[in-house]
Structure 1
Amino acid sequence: MITGSMSFHLPESLNASAPPERRGIRRDHVRMMVLSKETGHTEHDHFYNLANYLNKGDVLVLNSSRTIPAILRGRSEDGKEVEVRLARRVDSDRWDALVSKGLVLTGERIVFSNNLSAIVEIPDMPLSTLHFSKSGIDLFDEIYSLGEPVRYEYIQNPWDLDYYQTVFASQPGSVEMPSAGRAFSWELLFKLQKKGVKIVYIQLHTGLSYFLDDRFDHHPSSNKEEYVIPDQAWVEISAAKLAGNKVIAVGTTVVRALETAIETSCLSCWTNLFIHPGYQLKVADGIITGLHEPEASHLAMLSAFIKKEFLCSAYLEAVEKKYLWHEFGDMNLIL
């Protein structure tokens, strides 16, 4: 278990296996647990009422990365089936990837279609570096044509890629949905802006969060992710901090990017920052996130925002009140 994470029982019935829209509600009508980081007090509401908890001058920081269908299925030259899960982009024609079905060797060619293949350059555990036969936009076109979204065992149905996108997603690159932003609708974003909440966008392409049922050690510090914070976004964030307003990060990805930027003075870099209990947050005053499974590393990050006993109590309350977990589930505002 990662230090600072929590162990609790999560009933299988609380795993959200379908998007809200397929459960008969709008994306912004999921439930929201509001948790005070000062007192541990909880309120229970719906996400469309988020504006009631933010003030004029506060800054909401969203991740605009777009989800790609990161599972590719192919065959090696000797005919064996190979499943590839893209993990992170190295450059325009190379990706680090998890080869989850079939052993591959250096120099081996994996054929995905008549139009796309890849050479294994560096076979490693758990990730291998693949050199694709296409690059840039042409490679993304093939990935979108051939790939499937990453999904885990609690999601039985293969939902369309559109269900794995936020409404404001733009630049492709995330292999898993930056799910904390999924509950936002344009209507809610306009409502927040009308109240005077400033909304800025950064970009962090998310990597794989799990490697094959924990067969491999996957500490957050080994998970490098690329981020870009536009200059104007950083100006807005800095101005809010100087004015005493709050900066609310939408998702753990945004927290990592913001805290790395303030530590390194780099607005376009890679981050492998591990935020844990006792870490002194310098930018993010609050976070909007989903509900995380027992012992997940994300819980260690949340314990940097709020006392662990408050977080444990709130999570037990969420279980009791039958909140739904994971990327299609309910939301948690810690402020």
Structure 2
Amino acid sequence: MKLEEFDYNLPEELIAQKPLFNRSDSRLMMVNREFKEIKNESFKNIIDYVQKGDLFIVNNSKVMPARLFGKKKETGGKLEMVLIHPTENEGEWEVLVKPGKRAKPGTIFEFGDGILEAEIKSTTPEGGRIVKFNYQGNFQQILDQLGEMPLPPYIKRQLDDPDRYQTVYAKERGSVAAPTAGLHFTPDLIEKIKEKGGDVIELTLHVGLGTFRPVKVTDIEKHKMHSEYYYLPVESAEKINNAKRNGCRVIAVGTTAVRTLETCKTEEKGKCVKSSKGWTDIFIYPGYEFKVVDSLVTNFHLPKSTLLMLVSAFASNELIMEAYQEAVQEKYRFFSFGDAMFIE
């Protein structure tokens, strides 16, 4: 398929710049794949569509304060650094830097008046850097002290409350972007799902900056995804397998949950997923055959993005483009702090 098939026109004023006061006050577009129906709802009314036995699969990854502002130790030249993920070597991380011309191998940068230092070790094929951090004490505490939340580039200001860029169930630290479909859920809504006979179970996928990297190839099949760390616990896998055996729905909350579940699919008799952990670069686009996911809760995604391609694969490109056109007409709020879609 061609990249332009996933393009649409979005007025800039529909890009949500901050979260709503109440998480579940966002809007919800219901999309029925079988009947090609589109209906406008409130997110809190998702409870009306919960069936007994439904499993909502959520990504419990927590966003790190991964954006650091520092200076070159020798000259004082300023630099912005965003942590992506640690390497296998102690104290080393893959990062993105701006401006890149200042970050040559061997250069040392300092943050917080020297509380933290980073030596540039090498460059990566994608234009990032491998750095070695030097510090005294606990790295995560230093990051909490010096770092900022790495909001997406279309968000123009920092949040008054950084926790609003975390889901209420976030616990496993490691993402540089939030699994935003989960931002609509509240403890009260989760409790109501359970009261109706559904359940909410967790997996982990640490979201990398590849989420925001544009697809640059015309033929989308040639795009290469950035690898991200995932973990599907044994207990979660068992509940998913039991649900599928009993004919109940597996509802992925967000594209990260979809990618993890489909990475963990198995051909073992009586199972659809297998507990595992590691790195995934699975790229889901139209033509993909889903093995695990039955329904999907997701936000509205950027034009020409891999996230939009995944959603188009789950429904159809034609239906999703129709839904997005209606969302623009109805002035839905788009992207991370925007409204949601429930595809059945």
TM-score, normalization: structure 2? 0.89
What is the aligned partner in structure 2 of residue 81 from structure 1? 78
Counterpart residue type for residue 107 of structure 1: G
Matched, 1:228 2:231: yes
Q: CA deviation at 1:154?
A: 3.2
Contact 2:215 2:304 in 1 (8 A): no
Q: How does 1:17-96 map to 2 (within 5 A)?
A: 17-21=17-21, 26-78=22-74, 79-91=76-88, 93-96=91-94
Cα distance in 1, alignment partners of residues 312 and 100 from structure 2? 39
Q: CA deviation at 1:227?
A: 0.8
Structure 2 gap segments, 5+ residues each = 267-272
Aligned partner (choices 307, 310, 326) of residue 335 of structure 2:
326
Identify if the C-alpha distance between structure 1 residues 241 and 221 changes in structure 2 by more than 3 Å, giving closer, same or farther. Answer: farther
Matched, 1:267 2:276: yes
Q: Deviations over 1:20-68 (max 9, x none)?
A: 11xxxx1111000010122220111111111211211111100111111
Q: CA deviation at 1:265?
A: 4.7
What is the aligned partner in structure 1 of residue 111 from structure 2? 112
Cα distance in 2, alignment partners of residues 163 and 239 from structure 1? 34
Identity %: 33
Identify if the C-alpha distance between structure 1 residues 265 and 231 changes in structure 2 by more than 3 Å, giving closer, same or farther. Answer: closer
Q: CA deviation at 1:2?
A: 6.3
Identify if the C-alpha distance between structure 1 residues 2 and 232 changes in structure 2 by more than 3 Å, giving closer, same or farther. Answer: farther
Contact 2:55 2:240 in 1 (8 A): yes
Cα distance in 1, alignment partners of residues 251 and 66 from structure 2? 29
Contact 2:234 2:275 in 1 (8 A): no
Counterpart residue type for residue 258 of structure 2: V
Contact 2:16 2:338 in 1 (8 A): yes
Counterpart residue type for residue 237 of structure 2: W
What is the aligned partner in structure 2 of residue 149 from structure 1? 149
Contact 1:30 1:330 in 2 (8 A): yes
Q: Deviations over 1:176-213 (max 9, x none)?
A: 111110000000000000111121011111001225x8
SS at match of 1:206: coil
Moved more, 43-52 or 217-226: 217-226
Identify if the C-alpha distance between structure 1 residues 2 and 255 changes in structure 2 by more than 3 Å, giving closer, same or farther. Answer: farther
Identify if the C-alpha distance between structure 1 residues 4 and 238 changes in structure 2 by more than 3 Å, giving closer, same or farther. Answer: farther
Moved more, 69-78 or 319-328: 69-78
Matched, 1:254 2:253: no
Cα distance in 1, alignment partners of residues 153 and 172 from structure 2? 27
Identify if the C-alpha distance between structure 1 residues 289 and 4 changes in structure 2 by more than 3 Å, giving closer, same or farther. Answer: farther
The aligned length equals 329
Structure 1 gap segments, 5+ residues each = none
Moved more, 108-117 or 229-238: 108-117
Matched, 1:188 2:184: no
What is the aligned partner in structure 1 of residue 97 from structure 2? 99
Q: CA deviation at 1:214?
A: 7.7
Identify if the C-alpha distance between structure 1 residues 273 and 2 changes in structure 2 by more than 3 Å, giving closer, same or farther. Answer: farther
Q: How does 1:300-315 map to 2 (within 5 A)?
A: 300-315=309-324
Q: How does 1:279-318 map to 2 (within 5 A)?
A: 279-318=288-327
Coordinate RMSD, CA, aligned: 2.3
